[in-house]
Amino acid sequence: MLLSVLVGLPLSLCSLLYLHVESHRDDWKETTSPLPSETVKILCRNFNVENDPICDKEKEIYAPDFYPIIRDAFKPYESYSVDSSESATYDEVEEKIGMFKYECEAVVYQADGFVYFRCRYDLRGDRALRITITFTYPEKDVFRINTPLGNDD
Encode pLDDT of 1-28 as tens digits.
555 555 555 555 444 444 433 434 456 5
Which residue, among 143, 18, 152, 29, has the nearest Cα to 84 in the 3D structure?
143
Strand 108-109 vs strand 115-121: parallel, antiparallel, or unpaired? antiparallel
CA 52, 57, 61, 63 dihedral sign is positive
User: What's the predicted TM-score (pTM) here?
Assistant: 0.78
pLDDT (0 to 100) of residue 8: 57
What percent of the chain is predicted at pLDDT more than 90? Answer: 61
In whole angstroms, give the CA distance from residue 41 to residue 82.
30
More confident residue, 153 or 114: 114
pLDDT (0 to 100) of residue 132: 96
pLDDT band per the 50, 70, 90 thresholds, residue 46 = very high
What percent of the chain is predicted at pLDDT more than 70? Answer: 77
Q: What is the mean pLDDT of the chain?
A: 83
pLDDT (0 to 100) of residue 13: 45
User: Does the pLDDT of residue 47 top 90, yes or no?
Assistant: yes
Residue 111: burial class (beta carbons within 10 Å; 0-12, 13-18, 19+): exposed
